[in-house]
Structure 1
């Protein structure tokens, strides 16, 4: 046994049904459902008979789906932006540092005024990822200010990395300078 064998051959009656349903205004998929045929079979039969299907409804449905997806991406981008804002707020909030271990497997913790540098680095990296994803979902309309924002985030990440390296090396972080170096807006 080989080749494609049709268990349900196309008959003149099938062609007549396709022509009648088409004349009644039914679309290809509806005709396929009613005649228990594949949409491809209906398309082939319609083409053989010179029948075409109105694509207006399909095009409108596609435009609606595209608009719905754009709205969902915008909502997700907004949520990611909110996540990034909450993460950056944590940089300067009181925090708890903790550790499990020792021979008695104890839990030790300490409340600190703000997270340590390594935690800040992780918060900034995660916030950066959330911002990046939100921008990919809904890119800004114009590029005005984008370079400045990237520069500011880059400077912040560089500064946090320097503080982290200093803490790892056992050095004291330099005191904050209220005047700044003039780079910030």
Structure 2
């Protein structure tokens, strides 16, 4: 039986590692360690993500000349924290949009019951938003706060302008899109909807 060619083991192809000279076959476990280490993950995180024991991660790293540079790991951690912060802020922006709509719904309520439900929803959304958005620290500038409030005001004004335009068009007897009726009917009782349809 002929000996396997480089890159083969027992008839099964195994990719070579060109990053480390290309002369050593790479097992799937070693490849997982190499890829995660290149992404800046530390030894413990690689073990957690790949399910490979820490001792094996260390042995594979030593065999392939991988060192776990703390500065590289810190940079990767900072990048991941930045990504998480951005994701949190996107969720917070969504909650802010929901708060704006909840305030408008609260103003459109016609019954005490609806007012109570909308007040509860608005309170819950506001609390969720406050938990998502970190408190302003002394390092944060006033400009950041002004920018957020400015964005909120622009959003409220745009929504209010659209609302007034749609109400004016409806008052003129223009054909309204289905979403308009669905949005208005969302806050009405079934009896109110039947009364509107009867007129």
Please confirm whether the aligned pair reaches a TM-score higher than 0.5, indicating the same fold. Answer: no
Which bracket does the TM-score occupy, shorter chain normalised?
0.3 to 0.5
More helix by share: 2
More strand by share: 1
| Structure of greater Rg | 1
Relative contact order, higher structure (CA 8 A, sep 6+): 1
If the length of structure 1 is used for normalisation, what is the TM-score?
0.41
